[in-house]
Chain A
Amino acid sequence: MYKTFAEVKLALKEGATVESIVQHYLTEIENRKSLNAFLEVFTEDVLAQAKEVDAKIKAGTAGKLAGMVVGLKDNICYKDHKVSASSRILEGFESIYSATVVQRLLDEDAVIIGRLNCDEFAMGSSNETSYYGPVRNAINEEYVPGGSSGGSASALAAGLCTVTLGSDTGGSIRQPAAFTGTVGLKPTYGRVSRFGLIAYASSFDQIGPFTNNVEDAALVMNVISGEDEYDSTSSSKPVEDYTNISFEGKKKFAVIKDAIQMDGLDPEIRAAFNAQVEALKAEGHVVEEVSFPYLDVMVPTYYVITTAEASSNLSRFDGVHFGYRSEDAKGVEATYKQSRTEGFGAEVKRRIMSGTFVLSNEYYDSYYTKAQKVRRVIQDKTNEILANYDFIILPTTASTAFKLNSVTDQIQMYLQDIFTVQANLAGNPAISVPAGTHSNGLPFGIQIMADHYKEKELLACAEHLMKK
């Protein structure tokens, strides 16, 4: 078992080859097929790549991530490989280019082992909307792994890769990380290039890592972060060395009162969280409750704006230029309608329709414009809190993972994001680290949020909390 990159490096030092490490993961993937975490394993490719990296190691020319075996969420493009966003509409589609993050990983000699199941177009919180079937939670296969990056979370938790990449639009990295007992980081909006990430909601999406420790998250972030000429929303701010972290001095933590008092919060999670707070106080840190009376509007605001953007982002999947085309459609209009009807799943259609509605002439101001205004208020208020505190801490989720097919009410499903959407609405970095195991045997997490581009401080704090 190689749970971390440090273990991989140790093995390499003791004479193992990257190829043998890849072989190990391939065997594990085979053993855990029932998880349905992988949509495709790039067996031949990854072995060939591993041999190349072995040669480089011998020659002393290997990159920083030599030996790291990475799985990609199936919405991240990798040249000459299939990518489908777990949707029928991209059935058989192969990307003709690599996402910037993939290229940067490859340049540092990480190897890419396969693509990981997720909710269709990253729309979902349980990984049950995938056209290719649900992913099961590696901790207990009767349960969902969370979503939308469920495959990335479960594969990592099961030890099928060293690191996986996911994407987070409203909590899609942090919630599954909490459900699987892994570390999940959503970087600041603009810190990591989105070029090559199949867009769900462009002003929210960020790619981030799933890892088994903070150090690996830092290593990956060192490589994938930074300005990208192909993404004009990527920041030109220099990238700090995220591995060089220390958690020193007394910090100020804000706890959002409204969240911690919420009725639906699982008592065990609340108790564990409160214990964490007490421990921090005992160390001399300041932990204070702050008011943030927007909890009930955050999820609706998030859905208005994300569905609006999604309705436009998903227009390109029309059956004309690439991907699935309905075979019996006659004419252009029918090709659009039938291809999209047959190619998209129910949840994706629901969001395209919501988004089209909120952008329509008659309803634009009452929904889209209003939601933008609320988003601004949430951003301002979040900034205001983080001007006075180093971190905002919260449970990552209100409950542990739920059983497959147990949540049928969409609104209930949407509320999965209640603690996580704030970071996406405001663009802040946030991380979920394991915070304990529930009496039901399932893990849960604690979420730390920091000011924009304070990934280094965030990772330092995460490491500190994980050590305890």
Chain B
Amino acid sequence: MRENYEAVIGLEVHAQMLTKTKAYSNDVNEYGAMPNTNISAITLGHPGTLPVMNKKTIEYAIKLGLALNCNIAEDQYFARKNYFYPDLPKGYQITQDKTPICTGGSVKIKTKDGVEKEIGITRIHMEEDAGKSIHDVDMYDTLVDLNRAGTPLLEIVTEPDLRSSDEAYAYLQEVRKLLRYLEICDGNMEEGSMRCDANISVMKKGSKVFGTKVEVKNMNSMRNVQRAIEFEINRQIEALENGEELFQETRSFDALNNSTISMRSKEAANDYRYFPEPDLQPIRVTEDQINGVKAEMPALPNDLFEKYTKEYKLSEYDASNLIEAKPIALFYNEVTAHTKNYKAAANWIMGDVKSFLNQRGLEMKDFPISAEQIAKLIGIIDEGKVSSTVASQSIFPAMLEAPEKDPLAIAQELNLIQESDEDSIKNYISQVIAQHPSEVERYRNGEKQLTGFFMGQLMRLSKGKADPKAANKLMREMLEQ
């Protein structure tokens, strides 16, 4: 049944901007403060107060617009969206309505099945957040926290280009990654700093006419967006198959039951009575300003992916892994500034470094060892002074304890410098051969896989210090004799 249909999905992402102050006042913009503490007369919408634009928000919007190759509008106009709600103190929200700052542009996505696609961006506009109504703290009353009121938001609206919940998930991942790289938004859906509404419809495969669209709200994680879309696609197909008519409505995702529930029909929708905000003068964005933002643009994940795969010859898998989070990528960039062994640097970061962080529940910024020290560690392995195993098992843990210490000094102190002179290695090999005559016999009769066993014995005798490469070669020679 499902294979006869195609889903059409458009997403609206609201990203709270990480500005120090709110969109139209000097009130502090922060998450997690005591309720109703970052509220001046302006946030409270007291009579006589006026909004004053936080120019930083325009800069952030331009940044995102440039990253997505959007057109940036020259003049910024603002509009009021009027509706009554207890967490909206002014009775209207300042937004951009017909004149968004960014239009056009796209986001490149890659689904987990490897499908690559460009998702068109319809518009990005600036607006202010409302406060928060809290329904589950007090038994009888809804509580209102206005700290969030006036927080600057970017609303990012896609074209109806997405065709599956996987694509939607990949899109959200990509947008979140970008927002984080640009340091515009921390992208935390659980805390609500990034929110997403989905417009979903289904149509018969091959049809050119979209079906009736339904808007789904209240999904507080990317997984929930995926689940809500899945549910909605199935619900709509089922309804159509049963001969039911779908109607335009807003539905709410119910995470407990993994389903969506109707909130309101289109007929019951508000007439928001948008009109130009008379309290704000239009603001002009100059070419200079755009160039200024351009000059300060950080490297974006796609640029880094290109560099890692083309220049550093990393696999696509490694490259994607490294760019996943900006702090990791930045650390990798720093390590590769000190070593040309790009692959080893990638392996160290994705392996030992990441597992250390994961085990301790730490973030990259908490990692004690400097990028330069990691590069040095890679250096002494490459020079054959220590083996990778020793480096990983003994030197790295020692470095974590004493991050300032030079890895080579650590290796010397712990007596871990690899022995690569032939005489001492031959001496170990002779001992191994002498101690294991039956295994030698079997080897000589063709069980070549016993090399591993002999190497293990050799390493035990040398306490891991024998250069495995040299030892392996000499071992074969002596066994063949």
- Residues on A lying within 8 angstroms of B by beta carbon are 75-77, 83, 85, 90, 93, 95-97, 99, 194-199, 201-203, 229-233, 308-309, 311-312, 314-318, 320-322, 332, 336, 356, 359-361, 364, 368
Q: Contacts of B278 on A, CB cut-off 8 Å?
A: 201-203, 233, 309
Contact A360 B47 (CB under 8 A): no
Name the contact of B41 in the complex, choosing from A97, A315, A320 (C-beta under 8 A): A97
How far does the alpha carbon of A85 sit from the alpha carbon of B47 in the complex, in Å?
10
Q: Contacts of A96 on B, CB cut-off 8 Å?
A: 41, 46
A121 nearest in chain B by CB position? B47
How far does the alpha carbon of A233 sit from the alpha carbon of B46 in the complex, in Å?
18
| B211 sits at the interface (CB 8 A) | no
Q: Contacts of A368 on B, CB cut-off 8 Å?
A: 275
Contacts known (A202-B278, A233-B281, A315-B90); A194 close to B273, Cβ less than 8 A:
no
How far does the alpha carbon of A314 sit from the alpha carbon of B44 in the complex, in Å?
14
How far does the alpha carbon of A96 sit from the alpha carbon of B48 in the complex, in Å?
11
| B221 sits at the interface (CB 8 A) | no
Name the contact of B52 in the complex, choosing from A85, A201, A229 (C-beta under 8 A): A229
Q: Contacts of A311 on B, CB cut-off 8 Å?
A: 82, 273
B41 nearest in chain A by CB position? A97
Dominant secondary structure at the B interface: loop
Contact A316 B45 (CB under 8 A): yes
| B383 sits at the interface (CB 8 A) | no
Contact A315 B49 (CB under 8 A): no
Dominant secondary structure at the A interface: loop
Contact A232 B90 (CB under 8 A): no
Q: Contacts of B273 on A, CB cut-off 8 Å?
A: 311-312, 356, 359-361, 364
Q: Contacts of B41 on A, CB cut-off 8 Å?
A: 95-97
Q: Contacts of A317 on B, CB cut-off 8 Å?
A: 47
Chain B nearest Cβ from A215, distance in angstroms: 29
How far does the alpha carbon of A315 sit from the alpha carbon of B89 in the complex, in Å?
9
- Residues on B lying within 8 angstroms of A by beta carbon are 40-41, 44-53, 80, 82, 84, 86, 89-92, 142, 271, 273-275, 278-281
Contact B271 A361 (CB under 8 A): yes
Q: Contacts of A230 on B, CB cut-off 8 Å?
A: 50, 52
Contact A315 B280 (CB under 8 A): no
Contacts known (A97-B46, A232-B52, A322-B46); A202 close to B279, Cβ less than 8 A:
yes
Chain A nearest Cβ from B357, distance in angstroms: 45
Q: Contacts of A316 on B, CB cut-off 8 Å?
A: 45, 47, 89-91
How far does the alpha carbon of A95 sit from the alpha carbon of B92 in the complex, in Å?
21
- Interchain Cβ contacts under 8 Å between A and B, 5 examples: A203-B278, A309-B275, A318-B91, A359-B273, A359-B274
Give how many A-B residue pairs fall within 8 Å (CB-CB): 101
Centre residue among A312, A318, A322 by max chain B CB count within 10 A: A312
Contacts known (A232-B279, A356-B273, A360-B271); A315 close to B91, Cβ less than 8 A:
yes
Smallest CB-CB A-B distances: 6 pairs: A315-B91, A202-B278, A359-B273, A203-B278, A198-B47, A196-B48
How far does the alpha carbon of A199 sit from the alpha carbon of B278 in the complex, in Å?
11
Given contacts A199-B47, A231-B52, A315-B91, 12 further A-B contacts (CB under 8 A): A83-B47, A93-B47, A96-B41, A195-B50, A198-B48, A233-B278, A309-B278, A312-B82, A314-B91, A321-B44, A336-B84, A368-B275
Centre residue among B45, B53, B91, B271 by max chain A CB count within 10 A: B91
Centre residue among A96, A317, A318 by max chain B CB count within 10 A: A318
Q: Contacts of B91 on A, CB cut-off 8 Å?
A: 312, 314-316, 318
Chain A nearest Cβ from B55, distance in angstroms: 11
Chain B nearest Cβ from A226, distance in angstroms: 16
Contacts known (A318-B91, A368-B275); A195 close to B86, Cβ less than 8 A:
no
A199 nearest in chain B by CB position? B48
Contact A315 B46 (CB under 8 A): no
How far does the alpha carbon of A96 sit from the alpha carbon of B278 in the complex, in Å?
24
A97 nearest in chain B by CB position? B41
Chain B nearest Cβ from A277, distance in angstroms: 36
Centre residue among B53, B86, B279 by max chain A CB count within 10 A: B279
Chain A nearest Cβ from B138, distance in angstroms: 15
Q: Contacts of B40 on A, CB cut-off 8 Å?
A: 97
B87 nearest in chain A by CB position? A320
B85 nearest in chain A by CB position? A332
Contact A231 B50 (CB under 8 A): yes
Chain B nearest Cβ from A345, distance in angstroms: 16
B89 nearest in chain A by CB position? A321
Chain B nearest Cβ from A176, distance in angstroms: 21
Q: Contacts of A203 on B, CB cut-off 8 Å?
A: 278
Chain A nearest Cβ from B126, distance in angstroms: 15
Contacts known (A203-B278, A312-B91); A320 close to B86, Cβ less than 8 A:
yes
How far does the alpha carbon of A291 sit from the alpha carbon of B134 in the complex, in Å?
60
